Structure 1
Amino acid sequence: MILRPALLVLALLALSFTAAAAEPDPVVKAQLESKGTPFEIDDDGDFQIVVRLDDDRTQLVWVRTVTSETTHHKVREIWSPGYQSATDNFPASVANDLLARSQEMILGAWVKQDRVAMFVTKIDADADADTLDEAIDLTALAADEVEKDLTGKDDL
């Protein structure tokens, strides 16, 4: 299928549209509670979770309330920070490292959010509690690995 430039722009805008703040998704809330996952609600209505990875390390994860849609897909994003740059641009070695790591991932990839490298996992917005729980864990593990390797710190 070939998209004309104007249609491509509209399609990309539709994919990236999100609201500034939203009511927390009651289904996600119930799923997190059913798994015994402690969370807080942030100012955007997203679920903020501190994942305990072991006795020494934790990782901050957000499950977005707002979902994105295409014609046939509705997805929910799970975010976790792994690296923060001192400048607006990531060093080339860091950017290349993140691209290489993204290639190895089954779910999720690295994205640049201002000065922060975020690991973002996208799952079906209607995923069940077990799928959401696994995606949270995988997101936390991927972000924490980069955090350890590139910064040597626990939580940016």
Structure 2
Amino acid sequence: MPRFIHSGLVTLLVACCLPLVAHGASNADIEPAAAESSATPAVPDPRIGPLLKAHGTPFTIDDDGDYRILVDLGDDRTQIVWVRSVVHETGEQRIREVWTYGYRSDERRIPATVANRLLSENFDLILGAWARSEGNAVLVLKIPADADADTLNEAIDLAASIGDRMEKQLVSGDEL
């Protein structure tokens, strides 16, 4: 997953320039990867749980300490969204990531047509961008780490709807 290195420039470049996606795994097979940063806590950020509970959002906590939410989109469609416990700092800002996947490739290689589609999608996204994580494409929304319950809920819903829309376009199914 993209990580800030002091100034956050690396994450910005990854999020904007590496829109790679993947397809074909079940919900249980996919989790944000902690191996990419030793800064990933194994304990959840205690500020997130109460915000999720304020909206009645059910969640589990994964092995990385991230909040895993299965969003029901209706019509027998679901989308997994993660609220990351890691907080990135850029001097003046504290940022939290909200993740979802849109496509997975068993070859861990993204066809050029798919990558180009995601670059086009990135241009139109307001709050996030498609990025690469361990051969998968993830939509990464970045919100203030101290966002209130309404802002966090909006980011979760937005991530789920954008991720599901991209999944329908790219794999014609509900895999995530």
TM-score, normalisation: structure 1? 0.87
**Unmatched 5+ stretches in structure 2:** 12-35
TM-score, normalisation: structure 2? 0.78
Choose from 109, 113, 125 the match for 1:89. 109
Once the two structures are TM-superposed, the CA of residue 25 in structure 1 deviates from its matched residue by 1.4
Higher RCO (CA-CA < 8 Å; seq separation 6+):
2
Choose from 56, 61, 64 the match for 1:36. 56
Aligned CA-pair RMSD: 2.0
Q: Deviations over 1:61-83 (max 9, x none)?
A: 00001110111111000000000
The residue type paired with residue 174 of structure 2 is: D
**Counterpart-to-counterpart distance in 2, 1:69 and 1:31:** 21
Larger % of helix: which?
Answer: 1
Equivalent residues, number: 148
Choose from 144, 149, 152 the match for 2:164. 144
Q: Contact 2:84 / 2:96 at 8 angstroms: preserved in 1? A: yes
Could you tell me which residue of structure 2 aligns to residue 54 of structure 1?
74
Choose from 105, 117, 121 the match for 2:125. 105
Could you tell me which residue of structure 1 aligns to residue 25 of structure 2?
none
**1:135 correspondence with 2:144:** no
Once the two structures are TM-superposed, the CA of residue 88 in structure 1 deviates from its matched residue by 3.0
